Amino acid sequence: MSSKKRLVGVVPLGEVPEIALKVIAAHISGYFNLSVQILPPLEHPEYALDERRFQYNAGIILKAFESMRFKDYDKVIGVLNPDLFIPIFTHVFGEAKQGGKFALVSLFRLGKNPDGSSSPSSLIFERAAKVALHELGHLFNLLHCREKRCLMHFSGDIQDLDETPIYLCRYCSTFLKDRLLRLNLISSKERFR
Ligand SMILES: [Zn+2]
Ligand SMILES: [Zn+2]
């Protein structure tokens, strides 16, 4: 058993459906075998709105997180409704600083299927969990993977995301396990998927 508690924090920014947070938290604990806690909501990040693009700048939100410390948590994932961008992309489903502490997941583009029809909420939450696990992978220093059947494969659109599995390929899984062992976040006896 891991001696560490409250390892990963999941924090809503503004109003986010509680079920989305719970599904994300359950996937983090189920697939990565880490302790997770849902944190009280932070304000809607109006400060990050880009008025020309009418989207929210992921880098500015991540920077704001840096000043908030979250000292009881090793990794923190912010979940929000608005559309996110980083300057080189039209939009992103999520964003994380490679090897860092903070990541973001946006629900904005997860509600539409590739054909434009609306998705059932169960699928929206599953996609959100997938994005969260992918970003958490970056926080543990996993890079994008060429293997299509791997959670760390890059997803540019919703079709990519749906075709990406929620699990890691053997290579990434070994890398992550090694990383968590080295950080002392899991013990070698712990089961890991
Ligand atoms: Zn990525
Ligand atoms: Zn992989």
For residue range 113-124, list pLDDT tens digits in order: 999 999 999 999
Q: Give pLDDT, residue 190.
A: 61
For each of the domains in the chain, give its residue range(s) and CATH number, in order of start: 8-108+117-142 (3.40.390.10)
CA of 152 to the centre of ligand 1 (A): 6
pTM of the full predicted structure?
Answer: 0.92
Ligand nearest to the CA of 174: 2
CA of 23 to the centre of ligand 2 (A): 23
CA of 71 to the centre of ligand 2 (A): 30
Whole-number Å distance between alpha carbons of 106 and 175: 26
CA of 147 to the centre of ligand 2 (A): 6
CA of 119 to the centre of ligand 1 (A): 23
Per-residue pLDDT of the chain (193 residues; tens, 9 = 90+): 444 555 999 999 999 999 999 999 999 999 998 999 999 999 999 999 999 999 999 999 999 999 998 999 999 999 999 999 998 888 899 999 999 999 999 999 999 999 999 999 999 999 999 999 999 999 999 999 999 999 999 999 999 999 999 999 999 999 999 998 888 777 766 655 5
Which residue in 135, 147, 163, 190 is the catalytic one? 135
Ligand nearest to the CA of 130: 1
Q: Is the dihedral of CA 67, 104, 20, 180 positive or negative?
A: negative
Ligand nearest to the CA of 176: 2
Establish whether 135 is a catalytic residue: yes
Q: Give pLDDT, residue 5.
A: 52
Burial class (CB in 10 A: 0-12, 13-18, 19+), 125: buried
Q: Give pLDDT, residue 188.
A: 67
Q: How open is the CA angle 134-30-8, to the nearest 5 degrees?
A: 65
110-158 per-position pLDDT tens digit: 999 999 999 999 999 999 999 999 999 999 999 999 999 999 999 999 9
* Alpha-helical runs (H) found in 3-113: 18-32, 58-68
